[in-house]
Structure formats: C-alpha cells, structure tokens
Amino acid sequence: MAALIPRPRMRPAPGAVHVPGWLTPDQQRELVAACRGWASGPVPIRHTRLPRGGVMSVQTVCIGWHWQPYTYTRTAGDVNGRRVAGFPDWMVGLGRRALADAYEDPAAGDGYTPDTALINFYDGQAKLGMHQDKDEQSGDPVVSLSIGDTCVFRFGNTESRNRPYTDIELASGDLFVFGGPSRFAYHGVPRVLPGTGDPATGLASGRLNITMRVTGLKG
C-alpha cells in the first residue's frame, strides 16, 4: 500500500537530496546478491568495534578500502587481516548516475570516482548514532542506497549532532546524496521499521545500506 502513496523528492539542506524509489526492483535484487557475496568474504561482515570498547549494533563490510574507526586501510586488521574486495567499475557507474539524477544535472557525476563503500546491515534493533563521515580526505559527495526495511534517517547540520535536523524515511530503492555544503553534516539512523521490506529483494528481513565515498587516499 505504501508504494501507492507518491513520495516526492526532497532536499533537507543545500547539497542533500532524497530521491525515493531510485533503484528498480532488479537493481535491488542484484545489489543484495552482490552484498551477500561481499558479506561472506574475503573479509566477512562484522559488528565494528570502537576504540573505547563499544561494539556497533550495525554490521558492516567494506569494499575498496576497509574502514575501521577512524581510518581507511586496504586490509582489515581488525577482522582477519585480508585485503578487502575491489571496488567494481559498475558501482562507479551507479554512483555517477546517482549524482546526475539527484542533482538533476547530467554533468554532476562527471569525474566522480568513489573508491570505497561501507555496506551496512541493520536488523530490527540496530541503530546508528549521529556522526559525520569525515575520515575521507575528499569533499566529494556520499551516495547512499537503501534496500529492505524502511528506516528513519536523521539528517542534521554541520555544526553539531543536535537540532536542527530532518527525519526522513528511507525505503527500499531510495537514493540519498549528501555533497557540497552538506557533505560533512551529521546524520544517523535512529530506528528501522521491521517488516516493511519486500522479501522479493532477496532480503528476508532487515535493512541494507550502501554508502559510496571518495577516500582521497592513494595506494
């Protein structure tokens, strides 16, 4: 039923755009299959450990570069020491099309070359606190794709993790881009809405999120 109610695209802040229903059902299925492969290795998906001893409720696997709080490396020293899977060219193409569509400018994706993606899996209880994506040495946009259960995504400001922020429901197939003046805005996922996803994506439950970034790193 929810799919019958049109969800307009919106811009919660300059440079930040939500494009509902951007991925086709086929693209969602293909992404789920690709992510399932990456989740099994060479570096298996895991709950990331934080330096102060906490463990994230979200499970994450990275491609291109491995993110470990708060740095990027080619190998996953906090998991099994192996090199992460390469960042595929087809995903670079998807990132470029995402920028062109989000910014409604055919040239907006020109030259965009994401080299890492964090692939996050949320079960019904998982959350992600307000944070900035700031371990990259590049101001290029972050491209975020959501599949499976809908979540509440909180998109804030660049000053602090507090208000003003906008709560947006990200549903299966939605695209969210944050670049320009919003690139270093605080954001988080206060909750997932269990049972809202369509198992036809290949995800029986939970939420998958892919954030592509440009690390700005060499090597």
Ligand X SMILES: O=C(O)CCC(=O)C(=O)O
Residues annotated in the binding site for Fe cation, as ranges?
131, 133, 187
Instruction: Report the residue from 28, 48, 116, 144 that binds ligand X according to the rule CB under 6 A.
Output: 144
Sign of the four-CA dihedral 116, 92, 23, 143: positive
Quickly count: other Cβ atoms within 10 Å of residue 27's Cβ. Answer: 15
Tell me: does residue 48 bind ligand X (CB under 6 A): no
Mind giving me the DSSP string for 167-182?
A: EEEE-TT-EEEE-GGG
Instruction: Report the residue from 172, 201, 209, 215 that binds ligand X according to the rule CB under 6 A.
Output: 209
Instruction: Report the residue from 65, 72, 87, 153 that binds ligand X according to the rule CB under 6 A.
Output: 153
What distance separates the 2 farthest-apart alpha carbons in the chain? Answer: 48
The tokens for 100 are 């062109």
In eight-state DSSP terms, residue 140 is P
Tell me: does residue 28 bind ligand X (CB under 6 A): no
x/- letters, 171..190, toward ligand X (CB under 6 A): ----------------x-x-
First to last CA, the chain: 48
Tell me: does residue 133 bind Fe ion (CB under 5 A): yes
User: Which positions touch ligand X (CB under 6 A)?
Assistant: 118, 120, 128, 133, 144, 153, 170, 187, 189, 209, 211
